[in-house]
């Protein structure tokens, strides 16, 4: 999942986590910032719980320092850790295994998620009409927010067709609606041949279906069923 900070990525991630556990999957949250957070906690003693301001400042500072030396430094650590752990779980687990990543912030992170060994479904989260905390905070200009700030204003079709997101989630819903969404999305993840009609995709994305797309799909269905004869179809 990617999107602007505090648009609900972690909330949606947790909802999918709970839904996956309920249907018997082995599931774990594996953020790209995991290796960085571990370093800041173990070497500097800062965590999001004990000192959130210093934690954020040092994560941003050290993250940027290492990326200036090697843009793929943190991505490589995440990838190595993910593959080693995933391979071990696949050998040992008798259940489906799902990793959730709730902090996709850089183009190289999007790139690694498209690796066939990762096999990711990539979501962009928009907050739509829901107000987000500290929308004009100076920290939102940090490089880690640039991709999301740019894409927040993009059309959904551009994000999916040009950037490579699988779904654009419109997260302005209640907690109850989010829980229902997570169950629906797990049905997508669980299916070997999920339905991608406009109505189902709209459910996956927590938005109203596009009536023009629905009409086009219906017409195409009728064309396939009855042929391209307008008179037969209208009858």
Share of the chain above pLDDT 70, in %: 97
pTM of the model: 0.82
Per-residue pLDDT, 228: 62
| Better pLDDT: 86 or 1 | 1
Can you give the pLDDT at residue 187?
A: 93
Q: What is the pLDDT of residue 121?
A: 95
**CA–CA gap between residue 175 and residue 196 (Å, rounded):** 25
Question: Is 128 a residue whose pLDDT tops 90?
Answer: no
By the 8 A CB rule, do 149 and 191 touch?
no
- pLDDT value of position 69: 95
Phi-psi region of 134 (alpha: psi -120 to 50; beta: other; left: phi over 0): left
Q: Determine the length of the chain.
A: 235
Q: By the 8 A CB rule, do 110 and 103 touch?
A: no
CA distance 189 to 24: 13
Render pLDDT for 6-17 as a digit per residue (tens, 0 to 9): 888 999 999 999
Tell me the longest C-alpha to C-alpha distance in the chain.
74
Q: What's the whole-number mean pLDDT along residues 61-73?
A: 92
Within 10 angstroms of residue 153's Cβ, the number of other Cβ atoms is 8
Domain ranges of the chain: 2-194, 205-235
Could you give the CA distance from residue 20 to residue 23 in angstroms, rounded to a whole number?
5
Q: Rounded to the nearest 10 degrees, how much is the dihedral formed by the CA atoms of 133, 35, 16, 170? A: 40
Query: Residue 230's pLDDT is what?
Result: 55
- How big is the chain by its Cα radius of gyration, in Å? 20
For the ranges 18-32, 92-106, 152-166, 203-217, which has the lowest average pLDDT? 92-106
The separation between CA 223 and the C-alpha centre of its own chain, rounded to angstroms, equals 35
Confidence tier at 160 by pLDDT (50, 70, 90):
very high
> 5: pLDDT confidence band, cut at 50, 70 and 90?
confident
DSSP letters spanning 138-160: GGGGSHHHHHHHHHHTS-HHHII
Between strands 2-3 and 26-29, the pairing is unpaired
**Topology, domain 2-194:** Rossmann fold (3.40.50)
**CA atoms within a 13 Å half-sphere pointing along the CA-CB vector of 136:** 0
């Amino acid at each position: 999942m990617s999107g602007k900070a505090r648009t609900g990525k972690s909330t949606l991630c947790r909802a999918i986590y709970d839904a996956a556990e309920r249907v018997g999957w082995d599931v774990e949250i594996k953020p790209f910032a995991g290796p960085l957070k571990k370093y800041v906690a173990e070497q500097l003693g800062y965590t999001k719980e004990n000192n959130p301001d210093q934690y954020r400042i040092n994560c941003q500072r050290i993250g940027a320092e290492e990326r200036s030396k090697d843009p793929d430094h943190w991505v490589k650590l995440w990838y190595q850790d993910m593959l080693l752990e995933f391979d071990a779980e696949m050998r040992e687990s008798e259940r489906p295994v799902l990793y959730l990543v709730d902090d996709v912030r850089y183009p190289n992170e999007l790139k690694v998620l498209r690796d066939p060994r990762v096999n990711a479904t990539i979501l962009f989260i928009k907050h739509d009409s829901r107000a987000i905390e500290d929308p004009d905070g100076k920290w939102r200009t940090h490089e880690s927010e640039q991709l999301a700030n740019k894409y927040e204003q993009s059309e959904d079709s551009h994000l999916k067709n040009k950037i490579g997101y699988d779904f654009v989630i419109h997260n302005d819903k209640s907690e109850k609606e989010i829980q229902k969404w997570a169950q629906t999305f797990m049905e997508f993840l669980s299916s070997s041949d999920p339905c991608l009609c406009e109505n189902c995709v709209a459910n996956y994305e927590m938005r109203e279906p596009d009536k023009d797309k629905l009409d086009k799909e219906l017409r195409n269905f009728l064309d396939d069923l009855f042929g391209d004869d307008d008179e037969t179809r209208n009858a």
